[in-house]
Amino acid sequence: MLDIVSIGECMIEFFAEEPIAEAECFTKAFAGDALNIIAAAQRMGSKTGFITRVGDDPFAPYLLKGWRDLGIDTSHCKVVPGFNGIYFISLLPGGEREFTYYRKGSAPSTMEPSDLDEAYIASARILLTTGITQAISPSARATALRAAQIARAHGVKVAYDPNLRLKLWSLEEARQALDEILPYVNIAMPGGPEESQLLLGVEEPRQVIEYFWRAGVDLVALKWGMVGSWIGERESGSIELVPPLQGVKARDTTGAGDAFNGAFLHGLCAGMSPVEAARLGMIAAALKVRGRGAVASLPSREEVYAIYREQMTTHR
């Protein structure tokens, strides 16, 4: 039995230490929110699987081997004619990052509901999908919705991160996609304050959490930047702030939210309370930003749990 099955896109990443126009060398990696999250959960000790399409270009063996090396089950990663999306990250003066994407029409964007194996989804404890999965194409959006419907029909919890990216679609499309999937979501992991203000039209953490509660979501883990994460449990009506880990120097914040999501979902699968799972997530996110890359810099299970146990001793 798998703990978490994720559906979405993973792209090839090329990173340069200077602006693209000046760069002569790039470092190759891979990333994508749906993959980053289960990579973080797998690193923590969960059993995970990935549902996607992989283009049969020269990058395909690299992607599949990389995911398997992480321990992720790739039995439902379908290799099809086509190409895999690519994005470039470069550093600008002052430390800002510049992203350049080449993904339109990529293999993952051709996913269809017929790709889904009902028994595979039913074998998991949690199904994960994201707003980016919905945004990359109408067929991927339909696939994410169908996967959520299958999961709910089999008693599998559905976790969802809206992960708003207005370069991929309009705000109105993002709102429509959110509305259509929310009836099937058990665990929402939105971000704020910018994303929540744009997507929901509300700014305060309690307002964001109550928005998801009204839609029937049982558990909300609201990521709020350097403030920490707000955990809202609908049944009890409780909302608690979990602060970030202090004293960590950030080198690259790419994928920090994904690291939180993955460790948080792992904690839930391990039987932790939502607040305890969020503490684990905040530690993983803080340690991840010390290094570059969304996946390569994920911390080890041992390191995260050592700090977690120290925190729990302090909180007693």
Q: For the residues of 194-208, what is the DSSP string, one character each?
A: HHHHHHHS--SHHHH
- Contact indicator for 129, 149 with CB cutoff of 8 Å: no
Active site residues: 258
Peptide bond into 183 cis (omega under 30): no
The residue length of the chain stands at 316
If you compute the radius of gyration of the chain from its CA atoms, what whole number of angstroms results? Answer: 18
Contacts of 189 (CB under 8 A, 6+ apart): 159, 160, 161, 220, 221, 222, 223, 260, 261, 264
d(CA 123, CA 146): 16
DSSP for residue 190:
-
Identify each DSSP E strand in the chain by its residue range. Answer: 2-7, 11-16, 27-31, 48-55, 73-80, 86-91, 97-102, 124-130, 157-161, 187-188, 219-223, 229-233, 238-242
